[in-house]
């Protein structure tokens, strides 16, 4: 500015200075419009407000306009009536703003596209398309059924609807949205004003309006992923109800955006608040909202909630909290998989059945059962306690002999302790327990552990410790499970050979395998196989062989691993159950693949999938795991498309069934396929997610974490992110340094190669 600019200009050659002077003169000239932007905006806003493209009494096609009933940035909506005498009908006519149409905006194209979208939809919960065309000025319009109703939130408040009635309204809306999704249409702007409720036959009927910014899921440009009407990156949305991903024009819109909108609708109906405050009006919400049960009690002045509000809070606590927060999760992958799944959980809540948004557990299902059938459960509990007590008394009276009486007293003590545990479970399931606090799976199991450790009877305590240890294995917490199982085995004694002791060792095989302790696995496996190799039921023997083969492979003894896995496969094929065959076939295929014999592995892995599908169906955990192992090997062989199809199906199933934080190994398998295919960016992201998910579960120093960080570094190096690659390689080396020598030389050497590569290339660049 000023003298600095003049000095700079004086330093230029005459020709350049001559070309710049007239441009600068124009730039520095006073401009009334640009110098007073606020006044200019007022002028433009006033003109827009005064604009009225259509007046009452005018005709648009065969319809006569009666009144303006709504407007937005895109256009205006009028109530109109058929005027050509063919039949009498009240309709809604949407017309693009005349100024936008004349300005060449793509809004006119959006309206034509909305007409095409609505033509594909036929559902009682979606406003039906009746007609469409263009005005004499060439402005497009469309005609839908006229819904004489009120916004869903206003309707619920005006009629004083209780929680269940409000939930039923959202179920109807979700079913309508699911109908659109099944025809590849995403609404993208679900909010109360776009869902009107009208009375039909004495019952409320919500109707979804305004598909004006909807997208066809199959309309994407295959090359760019962009949609025809959003090439500029512009996305019309309502911030209070918009999913976070809608703020990013580079992200592909999916049905998850509407699941978020449905969650926001439910949240506001239940709490009279929006999920997030106005601070998110200019950007996406990156955190979960306050739980609905807490939101309704958060009074502005800090006073205690009145009784009615407290009762509403209790009715929302638990399932409805979980359903809302699942639908409103900032990460689309962690929301409900579909609007139908969202509606299904709401219906389960209304029916008093367990919802699917939380992990199934005995404690949770029992709690829901108790709530539905309190009288029956109370009677059953009383009868059971009486039966156990009577059994103990009968045992005492069976024989007056001292030994028999002593045995009977021991049995009575065990029975009484078991009855006490059962009574505690029922007490935890009571909805009034702990002031209505919803007991989580972890809390229920932790409480069970504390009570089990207080049991006086050693056999009963050992048995219950095994059951709880097995439960922790299913919850994906091998370290906790291992501690409980070690305590159980200590009660039995290392020399014990009873069936109960063998079952404890079987579970310890799983925990020691998960905790990367192959030598302990081999000790347990050899003992179990020696004790049970001749059993008619091969379950324990096959388990011992399977885990032993994995341990041998971990120790680098590939030939022995394959030989043991082959023995297990032969034994399972000769007389094992389908489940045992699936496991044995899959394990042999996995061992062959780890030994570098991937083509030989394929027939066994494919057979495992075939038997599992034939026995258990596609939607089953065994099938999903078998598909994942096959997909992993296919990815390593370079058959990326087939591998990705199998792995993504397995990831989706495991995330839905077991939780989205339990898919680390599957993400790593997909990452290997992407790395093999040279898709480095996707591979790096997948390995990072796998390690991030895995560290809290199996520990940061687990060899698998080191392998995933090394692979992440390799992928980052692949596309030139050398600084990030160096950081990932250093994390991998930290893991390798706490492992055995064989691991240090195997993964540690690979991690060092990636570190050196990143440092060298980064310095060169």
* Cα–Cα distance measured from residue 156 to residue 165, given in angstroms and rounded to the nearest whole number: 8
Q: How far apart are CA 238 and CA 538, in angstroms?
A: 61
- For residue 764, give both structure tokens: 């060169």
Contacts of 411 (CB under 8 A, 6+ apart): 391, 392, 395
Are the C-beta atoms of 359 and 658 separated by less than 8 Å? yes
User: 453, 461 in Cβ contact below 8 A?
Assistant: yes
Classify residue 68 by its DSSP letter: E
SS (H, E, C) 24-63: HHHHHCCCHHHHCHHHHHHHHHHHHHHCCCCCCCCEECCE
Using CA atoms, how far residue 435 sits from 289, 350, 428, 439, 447, in Å, is: 23, 22, 11, 11, 17
Phi, psi at 77, each rounded to 5°: -120, 130
Other residues' Cβ atoms within 10 Å of the Cβ of residue 557:
15
Sheet with 203-208, edge to edge strand ranges = 150-151, 195-200, 203-208
Q: What one-character DSSP code corresponds to residue 493?
A: -
Give the helix ranges, DSSP H, for 230-299: 256-271, 292-295
501: helix, strand or coil: helix
Dihedral angle computed from the Cα positions of residues 544, 549, 553 and 554, in that order, rounded to the nearest 10 degrees: -10
Contact 707, 665 (CB under 8 A): no
| Range list of β-strands (E), 72-139 | 75-82, 90-96, 129-134
Instruction: Based on the residue annotation, tell me whether 189 is a catalytic residue of this protein.
Output: yes
Q: Is 441 left (phi over 0), alpha (psi -120 to 50) or beta?
A: alpha
In whole angstroms, give the CA distance from residue 229 to residue 251: 15
Contact 342, 259 (CB under 8 A): yes
Choose the catalytic residue: 53, 172, 189, 632. Answer: 189
Contact indicator for 709, 735 with CB cutoff of 8 Å: yes
Q: Which of 709, 706, 702 is nearest to 686 (CA)?
A: 709
Whether the CA torsion 303, 306, 311, 312 is positive or negative: it is negative
Q: Which residues contact 517 (CB under 8 A, 6 or more apart)?
A: none
**If we measure between CA atoms, which residue out of 525, 497, 499 comes closest to residue 510?**
525
350-to-170, 324, 344 alpha-carbon distances in Å: 12, 14, 10
| Cα–Cα distance list, 360 to 96, 156, 365, 453, 621 (Å) | 50, 32, 7, 25, 14
To 10 degrees, what angle do helices 499-514 and 518-532 make?
150
Q: What is the helix (H) or strand (E) element at residue 204, kind and residue range? A: strand 203-208
Q: What pairs with residue 205 in β-bridges?
A: 198
Radius of gyration (C-alpha) of the chain in whole angstroms: 34
> Three-state SS for 294?
helix
Q: What is the DSSP string of 144-184?
A: EE----EEHHHHHHHTT--HHHHHHHHHHHHHHHHHHHHTT
Query: In this structure, what token pair is assigned to residue 524?
Result: 């347990």
CA atoms within 13 A on the CB side of 568: 33
Report the distance separating Cα 381 and Cα 737, nearest Å: 54
Count of other CB atoms within 10 angstroms of residue 258: 29
The set of catalytic residues is 189
């Amino acid at each position: 500015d000023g003298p600095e600019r003049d000095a700079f200009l004086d330093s230029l050659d005459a020709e350049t200075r001559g070309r710049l002077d007239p441009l600068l003169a124009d730039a520095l000239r006073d401009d009334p419009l640009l110098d007073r932007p606020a006044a200019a905006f007022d002028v433009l806003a006033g003109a827009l407000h005064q604009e009225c493209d259509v007046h009452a009494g005018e005709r648009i096609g065969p319809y006569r306009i009666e009144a303006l009933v709504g407007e937005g940035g895109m256009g205006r909506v009028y109530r109109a009536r058929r005027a050509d005498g063919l039949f009498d009908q009240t309709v809604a006519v949407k017309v693009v703003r005349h100024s936008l149409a004349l300005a060449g905006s793509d809004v006119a194209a959006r309206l034509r596209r909305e007409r095409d979208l609505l033509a594909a939809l036929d559902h009682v919960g979606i406003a039906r398309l009746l007609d469409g065309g263009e005005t004499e000025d060439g402005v497009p319009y469309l005609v839908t059924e006229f819904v004489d109703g009120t916004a869903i939130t206003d309707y619920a408040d005006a009629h004083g609807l209780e929680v269940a009635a409000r939930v039923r309204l959202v179920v109807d809306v979700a079913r309508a949205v699911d109908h659109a999704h099944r025809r590849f249409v995403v609404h993208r702007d679900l909010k109360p004003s776009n869902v009107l409720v009208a009375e039909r036959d004495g019952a409320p009927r919500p109707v979804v309006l305004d598909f004006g910014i909807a997208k066809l899921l199959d309309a994407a440009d295959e090359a760019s992923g962009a949609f025809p009407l959003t090439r500029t990156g512009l996305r019309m949305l309502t911030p209070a109800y918009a999913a976070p991903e809608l703020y990013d024009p580079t992200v592909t819109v999916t049905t998850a955006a509407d699941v978020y909108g449905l969650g926001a609708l439910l949240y506001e109906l239940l709490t009279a608040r929006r999920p997030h405050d106005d601070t998110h009006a200019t950007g996406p919400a990156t955190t979960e909202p306050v739980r609905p049960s807490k939101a309704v009690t958060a009074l502005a002045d800090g006073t205690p909630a009145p009784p009615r509000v407290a009762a509403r809070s209790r009715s929302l606590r638990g399932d409805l909290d979980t359903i809302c927060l699942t639908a409103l999760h900032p990460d689309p992958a962690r929301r409900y998989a579909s609007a139908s799944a969202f509606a299904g959980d709401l219906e389960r809540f209304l029916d008093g059945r367990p919802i699917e948004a939380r992990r199934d557990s005995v404690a949770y299902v029992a709690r829901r059962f108790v709530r539905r059938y309190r009288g029956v459960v109370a009677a059953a509990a009383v009868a059971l306690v009486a039966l156990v007590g009577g059994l103990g008394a009968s045992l005492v009276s069976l024989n007056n002999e001292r030994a028999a009486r002593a045995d009977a007293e021991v049995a009575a003590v065990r029975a009484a302790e078991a009855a006490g545990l059962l009574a505690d479970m029922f007490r935890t399931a009571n909805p009034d327990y702990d002031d209505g606090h919803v007991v989580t799976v972890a809390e229920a199991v932790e409480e069970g552990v504390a009570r089990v450790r207080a049991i006086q009877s050693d056999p009963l305590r050992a048995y219950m410790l095994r059951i709880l240890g097995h439960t922790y294995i299913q919850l994906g917490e091998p370290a906790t499970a291992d501690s409980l199982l070690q305590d159980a085995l200590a009660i039995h004694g290392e020399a014990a050979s009873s069936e109960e002791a063998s079952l404890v060792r079987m579970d310890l095989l799983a925990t020691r395998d998960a905790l990367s302790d192959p030598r302990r696995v081999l000790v347990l496996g050899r003992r179990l196989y020696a004790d049970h190799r001749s059993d008619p039921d091969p379950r324990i023997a096959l388990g011992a062989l399977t885990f032993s083969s994995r341990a041998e492979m971990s120790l680098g003894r590939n030939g022995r691993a394959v030989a043991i896995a082959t023995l297990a496969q032969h034994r399972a094929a000769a007389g094992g159950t389908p489940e045992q065959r699936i496991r044995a076939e899959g394990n042999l295929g996995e061992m062959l693949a780890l030994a570098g014999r991937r083509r030989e592995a394929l027939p066994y892995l494919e057979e495992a999938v075939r038997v599992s599908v034939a026995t258990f169906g596609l939607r089953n955990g065994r099938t999903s795991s078998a598909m994942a192992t096959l997909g992993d090997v296919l990815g390593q062989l370079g058959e990326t498309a087939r591998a990705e199809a199998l792995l993504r199906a397995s990831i989706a199933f495991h995330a839905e069934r077991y939780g989205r934080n339990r898919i680390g190994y599957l993400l790593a398998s997909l990452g290997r396929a992407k790395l093999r295919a040279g898709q480095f960016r996707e591979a790096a992201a997948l390995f990072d997610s796998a390690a991030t998910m895995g560290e809290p579960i199996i520990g940061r120093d687990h060899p698998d974490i080191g392998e995933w960080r090394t692979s992440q570094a390799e992928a980052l190096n692949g596309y030139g992110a050398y600084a990030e690659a160096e950081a990932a390689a250093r994390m991998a080396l930290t893991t390798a340094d706490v492992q055995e020598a064989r691991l240090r030389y195997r993964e540690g050497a690979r991690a060092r190669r990636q570190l050196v590569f990143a440092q060298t290339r980064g310095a060169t660049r």
